[in-house]
């Protein structure tokens, strides 16, 4: 049994709490921490568990093995440093800091301390994504020839009216870092890397915000430098499902939200499964928590010494480097 603390009780909390409930035979929550009295009260009412504003007390508890950090990005470097300095393993919400060097700092600190530090990149754990990754690894479809990625999401202006949202000072960026990062991470991992060759990032007339809400890019993917395109936005009302199309020598793979389909060159169509909402519409939390649960289960596997980290901060760094070039 591993013991966790959660720091930050905002919008990202619900899927983590649901995941810990599913994993109650392997993990328990000892502390829930936030500076906000209102959020402490709401948490206690919703879960019947005491919350605290005293992070130092939670970090001083020798029973705590790991901390799930869910606070806004502008706090990630400092809080992540304090958590690692206390000797606790770290599971941190993206983007793990305002700039990529913040993530590098935390990765280096964890490595030098012998601690595990992993990002919440839960899309890697979707069943359809795992199935596609296994199919590509088999080499059965041949070389990658072309790629198209479209993320036509929607957020109303009220979303960006929240203090600090969509600003560089609090979030570190806009649609790429806050929304599209998950899809871009999956895309990069499935294709074996990506290099951005040209990009345009703008703030559309649909939003009043500091950072970008619409980006288009040209890129090459994988060891054979297959050409491709990326478009990501939160200005596409009412929000549509994100898609990735991978054109290979002997098949085309289309990933649409949580579903993946293989169109074989011989005419066969293979459904690799997956269903449900993916958070593309005005409600950013409109998705199932199953992939969060599987991510935390994999983190527990690493804590227990059963397996290496399935996704670590180096993965997030590589994806953020793509984003840095596009913006």
Alpha-carbon gap, residue 99 to 78, rounded angstroms: 13
Burial 168-198 (b: 16+ CB within 10 A, else e): bebbbbbbbbbbbbbbbbbbbbbbeebebee
pTM, whole model, 2 decimals? 0.92
Query: What structural domains and CATH numbers belong to the chain?
Result: 2-120 (3.40.50.720), 124-284 (3.30.360.10)
**List of the chain residues with pLDDT < 70:** 274-287
CB 15 within 8 A of CB 76: no
pLDDT computed for residue 202 by the predictor: 98
Q: How far is CA 152 from the centre of its chain?
A: 17
> What digits encode the pLDDT tens for the residues 263-303?
999 999 999 876 655 556 555 555 689 999 999 999 999 99
pLDDT computed for residue 286 by the predictor: 57
């Amino acid at each position: 049994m591993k013991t966790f603390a959660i720091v930050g009780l905002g919008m990202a909390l619900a899927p983590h709490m649901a995941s810990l409930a599913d994993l109650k035979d392997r993990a328990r929550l000892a502390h829930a921490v936030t500076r906000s009295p209102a959020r402490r009260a709401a948490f206690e009412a919703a879960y019947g568990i005491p919350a605290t504003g005293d992070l130092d007390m939670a970090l001083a508890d020798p029973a705590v093995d790991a901390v799930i950090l869910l606070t806004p990005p502008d706090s990630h470097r400092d809080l992540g440093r304090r958590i690692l300095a206390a000797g606790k393993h770290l599971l941190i919400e993206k983007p793990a800091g305002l700039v990529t060097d913040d993530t590098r700092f935390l990765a280096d600190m964890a490595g030098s301390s012998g601690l595990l530090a992993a990002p919440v990149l839960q899309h890697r754990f979707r069943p359809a994504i795992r199935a596609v990754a296994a199919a590509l690894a088999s080499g059965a479809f041949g070389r990658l020839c072309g790629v198209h990625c479209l993320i036509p999401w929607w957020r109303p202006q009220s979303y960006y009216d929240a203090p600090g949202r969509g600003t560089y000072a609090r979030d570190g960026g806009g649609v790429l870092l806050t929304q599209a990062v998950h899809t871009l991470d999956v895309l990069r991992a499935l294709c074996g890397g990506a290099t951005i060759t040209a990009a345009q990032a703008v703030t559309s007339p649909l939003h009043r915000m500091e950072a970008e809400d619409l980006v288009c890019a040209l890129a090459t993917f994988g060891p054979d430098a297959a050409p491709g395109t990326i478009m990501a936005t939160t200005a596409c009302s009412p929000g549509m499902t994100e898609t990735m199309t991978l054109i290979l020598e002997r098949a085309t793979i289309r990933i649409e939200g949580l579903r993946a389909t293989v169109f074989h060159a011989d005419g066969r169509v293979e459904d690799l499964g997956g269903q449900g909402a993916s958070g593309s519409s005005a409600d950013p939390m409109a998705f199932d928590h199953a992939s969060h649960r599987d991510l935390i289960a994999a983190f527990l596997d690493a804590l227990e010494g059963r397996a290496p980290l399935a996704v670590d901060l180096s993965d997030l760094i590589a994806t953020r480097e793509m984003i840095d070039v596009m913006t």
